Amino acid sequence: SIASADMDLNQLEAFLTAQTKKQGGITSDQAAAIAKFWKNHRIKIHESLINQRRWDNILKNMNWRVDLKSQSRHIDQINTPVAIVEMELGKNGQ
């Protein structure tokens, strides 16, 4: 929860205080250890999470257009816009 929310020190303190007050929660010593660890490693943990969620693929090319129907059996379908998007993905570095 701490890492996914990328909590600042105020949020961390409030979260850990709530966890110590919960029945079956953590002790104040555990909360202090977690707070110290988070303060020392927050940036590394955040960068690691970002790298895990990043795609290996990159967008190499993109084409798009908007088409309008000019003929139809039903008058209400004429001039209905349709967007067509073509994306070409490639591996990073290739």
What is the CB neighbour count within 10 angstroms for residue 43?
Answer: 8
pTM, rounded to two decimals = 0.55
pLDDT for 94 equals: 60
* Helices H / strands E in the chain, number of each: 3, 2
The answer on pLDDT for 79 being more than 90 is: no
Across the chain, mean pLDDT equals 87
Q: Which residues contact 18 (CB under 8 A, 6 or more apart)?
A: 25
State the Cα–Cα distance between residues 50 and 73, nearest whole angstrom.
51
Share of the chain above pLDDT 70, in %: 96
User: For 43-56, what is each residue's pLDDT tens digit?
Assistant: 999 888 887 777 67
Residue 73 vs residue 28, higher pLDDT: 28
